[in-house]
């Protein structure tokens, strides 16, 4: 293998541009998945099945179809219906929507893990439903699920290269662009592979530390 450090040096401007896009997609996608996932989880506990059933069908459909298919649907099919988004916006929406169906299950498990006595105490104190959720149930549930949510952040980071399929120049997109322009593939692909490891591994250690601290 003919490794060229000059190619690594020349690739770095591409790398930083791609990293910025990848982290932006990760941050916004995570916010959507966490917020929408909580909404799904609360709707699934609605007292009427006419709310639970549609939510269950939608979330099951999203969870059971590949992220790439959903990405292509949002990017290529929605414009035919008059809904057009920028490539990065489409990617963020696809990642956020897809992973919200997984975070929904995490929230559900956290809510169900809250002891029955907490619900009974809130009822005995005659707390309004909204106050019961915001002051009693959700603080305990979210504390329990933070480590699991962190694992999905890492999963989302590793899925950001799929955005290259709709022309988003994240890390892999920038590596491909550099390779096509300079006919060097080994260096850029290796650099982004190492970068994913250097980001993901410390993040996994942090999640383990949070799990030991929060889940007792």
Using one digit for the tens of pLDDT, what is the confidence trace for 4-30? Answer: 888 899 999 999 999 999 999 999 999
> What separation in angstroms does the CA of 160 have from each of 163, 170, 172, 199, 204?
6, 7, 9, 13, 17
User: Residues 164-187: pLDDT tens digits?
Assistant: 999 999 999 999 999 999 899 999
Query: pTM for this one?
Result: 0.90
CA atoms of 49 and 52, how far apart (whole Å): 5
pLDDT of 104 above 90: yes
Sign of CA dihedral 75, 31, 65, 39: negative
pLDDT of amino acid 85: 92
pLDDT of amino acid 210: 72
Q: Give the distance between the most distant pair of CA atoms in the chain.
A: 73
């Amino acid at each position: 293998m003919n490794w060229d450090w000059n190619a690594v040096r020349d690739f770095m401007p591409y790398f930083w541009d791609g990293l910025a896009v990848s982290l932006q997609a990760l941050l916004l996608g995570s916010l959507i998945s966490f917020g929408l996932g909580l909404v799904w989880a609360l709707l699934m506990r609605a007292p009427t099945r006419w709310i639970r059933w549609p939510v269950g069908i939608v979330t099951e459909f999203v969870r059971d179809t590949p992220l790439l298919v959903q990405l292509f649907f949002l990017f290529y099919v929605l414009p035919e219906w008059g809904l057009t988004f920028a490539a990065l916006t489409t990617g963020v929406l696809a990642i956020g929507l897809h992973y919200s169906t997984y975070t929904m299950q995490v929230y559900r498990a956290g809510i169900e893990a809250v002891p029955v006595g907490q619900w009974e105490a809130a009822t005995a104190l005659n707390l309004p439903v909204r106050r019961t959720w915001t002051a009693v149930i959700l603080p305990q549930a979210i504390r329990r699920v933070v480590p699991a949510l962190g694992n999905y952040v890492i999963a989302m980071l590793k899925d950001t290269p799929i955005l290259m399929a709709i022309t988003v120049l994240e890390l892999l997109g920038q590596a491909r662009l550099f390779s096509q322009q300079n006919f060097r593939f080994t260096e850029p692909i290796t650099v982004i592979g190492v970068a994913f490891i250097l980001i993901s591994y410390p993040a996994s250690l942090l999640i383990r530390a949070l799990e030991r601290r929060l889940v007792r």
